[in-house]
Amino acid sequence: MSVYLKLGDTDVSRFIVENEYCVSTAPVYDEESEFVNIYGERIKTLLGRETEITVTLRDLPDDTALSIAHIPQTRSVSVTYSSPAQQSGDFEPLSFSLSLDREVKGVKYWTAQMKLSAYVKEVGL
């Protein structure tokens, strides 16, 4: 199975640098809800999960670089990604850089590095 990453309407999957794509997820708990159950275990209410995507994209042609260059100016961007199952959500850009890698026969190729974050609220029963 290959890695999938779509930022807004732009599929950037083929530009992902091997070993430079990471999706991490951490639970978010309500600290004020902590109690000790009858077994002596400390229990907290799970509010949701924080998901971060860190990725480097290389050899982006001008049109692709231009289509994602707006990301730092937005409050959120729609992202579809694999981890390993395909998921999607609205992510906040935490960091973003776009640098010119090289120019060959008038064609520019860019490298983008970014970290995106999303909070997904826990859905009750």
Confidence of residue 123 (pLDDT cuts 50, 70, 90): low
Distance, CA of 83 to CA of 87 (rounded, Å)? 7
> How do residues 10-54 score in pLDDT, each as one tens digit?
999 999 998 999 999 999 998 888 888 899 998 888 888 999 999
Contact between 49 and 25 (Cβ < 8 Å): yes
Dihedral angle sign, alpha carbons of residues 73, 18, 107, 61: negative
> How do residues 61-93 score in pLDDT, each as one tens digit?
999 999 999 999 999 999 999 988 888 899 999
pLDDT reported for residue 125: 43
pLDDT reported for residue 31: 82
Print the SS3 string covering 34-83: EEECCCCCEEEEEEEEEEEEEEEEEEEEHHHHHHHCCHHHCCCEEEEEEC
State both tokens at 90: 């609205």
